[in-house]
Amino acid sequence: MNILNHKLSRLLAMPMMLVLLAGCQHIDGVRLGQDHPDDLGALLQKRQYERAEQLLNQYPYLDTPEQRNRLHTQIAAYEDATLAEAHAQELNNDLFGALQTVDAALLNLPHSTHLNDYKRALDSERAARLKTTGYQLLLSRSRYLATQLQLYETQLNLATPGLQQRWEYLRNQQEAASLASKLLECGQDSLQQDNLEMADKCLHSARALDDSSAVREAIALLEVRNNAVHQTQVEQAQIIQVNKQKKLAKTRKNRTQVLLVQTRQALDDNDLLAARNTFRKIPAHNSNAADVIVVRTRLEETIGARVAALTGDGDRLYRGDKVDQAIDIWEQALALNPENIGISERLERARKVQSRLEELKNKQQR
């Protein structure tokens, strides 16, 4: 009887095998068994690149640079087209479709480094998303069960529950216990993966269903990890701030050095107004630096001497009734030392005199 069943199973399997063979794209159009040189074109057309390469290796006269280049060009184009199609599917969140596309290509190029690397990346991403989706389903179900259990407890204060309600409550309690265990595993796994956000959701959802000692221990560990992360973030923020301050100080120092060079050059050129305006751009944070003090002292002494000389020249011109020229000289002095009250008073008097002289001149012309 067993022999009869075995034979019957083989007979039933044969049609299915024939169907599979008939529909296989790798066999259609290419002879079964040993490949021959005449099969090269068909193999390339059917994208049987590995068999085509074996054929070139087997027949040296067939292995010409042109044939090798043709094979490698088609392989590269096939890989690029496959990766482009799979990447487009991945961008549309169709990871399963992308994997199917890559798997189909790997049947033709099983040793392709590019395709195998991309397949591993897709498998990893798909596994991570499946795990995340599974956790989200657990969280969604836990919220529903927690609400149902809470509503049942509330109803106890309003009316005696019926048999159906008690049975549903018992079923929900059993499911809640099982779900709390799964959520605890979710939290512990998320902790190991440093996914503290997911760990927090899973563990607190588990606690809402079953406030067990294991859940409380996991939550305590989560709090320790959160505190450590917070402390690390604070320290990193402090480091970033210190680095910013150092960078800013370096920038200011570099700018100060440039301004000092420009100020010295203006002093050497005897362009005191430019020297004064340039020096004033130096950041206040660097005002007490030794090289800044040296330039400031030179600038102040040079400007002081020039202002004193201009003031004296203006006084002589003014006494000689050359009011307009005196005003021009004092204005130059005031530009170098705007806080000089003595020069401001001289200019104020001279301008009044200038105004009266203009009035007398106008009356005489009438």
**Could you read off the pLDDT of 271-295 as tens digits, one per residue?**
999 999 999 998 888 888 899 999 9
Q: Which of 101-105, 140-144, 355-359 has the lowest mean pLDDT?
A: 355-359
Last residue of a domain, one of 215, 240, 265: 240
Identify which has the larger pLDDT, 192 or 286: 192
Q: In this structure, is residue 13 part of a structural domain?
A: no
Q: Domain for residue 117, yes or no?
A: no
Domain-embedded: residue 14: no
Which of the listed ranges 153-157, 183-187, 244-248 does the model predict with the highest average pLDDT? Answer: 183-187
Q: Of 317, 327, 364, 363, which Cα lies nearest the Cα of 348?
A: 327
Of 25-29, 254-258, 284-288, the poorest mean pLDDT is in: 25-29
* Residues 48 and 135 grouped into a single domain: no
Q: Where are the beta strands (DSSP E) in the chain?
A: none
Domain identity same for 218 and 253: no
Is 123 part of any domain? no
Q: Do 262 and 236 share a structural domain? A: no
Does the pLDDT at position 247 exceed 70?
yes
**pLDDT of amino acid 33:** 53
- Residue 359 burial (C-beta neighbours within 10 Å; 0-12, 13-18, 19+): exposed
Do residues 262 and 173 share a domain? no
| The domain boundary residue, chosen from 185, 208, 240 | 240
Q: Are 330 and 341 within 8 A, CB to CB?
A: no
The percent of residues in the chain predicted with pLDDT above 90, rounded, is: 59
Both 157 and 250 in one domain: the answer is no
Q: Residue 3: which pLDDT band, with cuts at 50, 70 and 90?
A: very low
Within this chain, do residues 228 and 254 fall inside the same structural domain, yes or no? no
User: What is the distance between the alpha carbons of residues 347 and 341, in angstroms, rounded to a whole number?
Assistant: 10
215 plus 283 within the same structural domain: no
Tokens (6 digits) for 19: 């169907």
Residue 161 in any domain: the answer is yes
Residue 12 located in a structural domain: no
The residue out of 56, 76, 111 marking a domain boundary is 111
Q: Tell me, what's the pLDDT at 310? A: 93
Same domain, 193 and 283: no
- The pLDDT score that the predictor gives to residue 10 is 41
**Statement to judge: residues 235 and 247 lie in one domain:** no
Give Cα 295 to chain centroid, integer Å. Answer: 46
Structure tokens at 62: 């067939």
On whether residue 124 sits in a domain, the answer given is no
Report pLDDT for 100.
96
Task: Read off the pLDDT of residues 112-126 as tens digits, 9 standing for 90 and up.
Answer: 999 999 999 999 999
Number of domains in the chain: 3
The parent domain of residue 151 ranges over: 129-240
Residue with tokens 């600038």: 299
Mean pLDDT of the chain: 86
Both tokens of residue 333?
A: 């002095």
Question: Quick one: pLDDT band at residue 2, thresholds 50, 70, 90?
Answer: very low
Tell me, yes or no, whether 159 and 96 share the same domain: no
Per mean pLDDT, which range of 92-96, 120-124, 247-251, 304-308 is the poorest? Answer: 247-251
- For residue 344, is pLDDT > 90? yes
pLDDT (mean) for 138-160: 89
> What CA–CA distances, in Å, run from 334 to 279, 315, 337?
17, 14, 5
Give yes or no: residues 269 and 354 share one domain: yes
In angstroms, rounded to a whole number, what is the distance separating the alpha carbons of residues 358 and 365? 11
Chain segment 314-330, per-residue pLDDT in tens: 999 999 989 899 999 99
Identify the pLDDT of residue 366.
Answer: 66
**Cα–Cα distance between 89 and 98 in angstroms, integer?**
5
Residue 236 lies in a domain: yes
Predicted local distance difference test score (pLDDT) of residue 341: 93
In the predicted structure, residue 62 carries a pLDDT above the cut 90: no
262 and 343 within one domain: yes
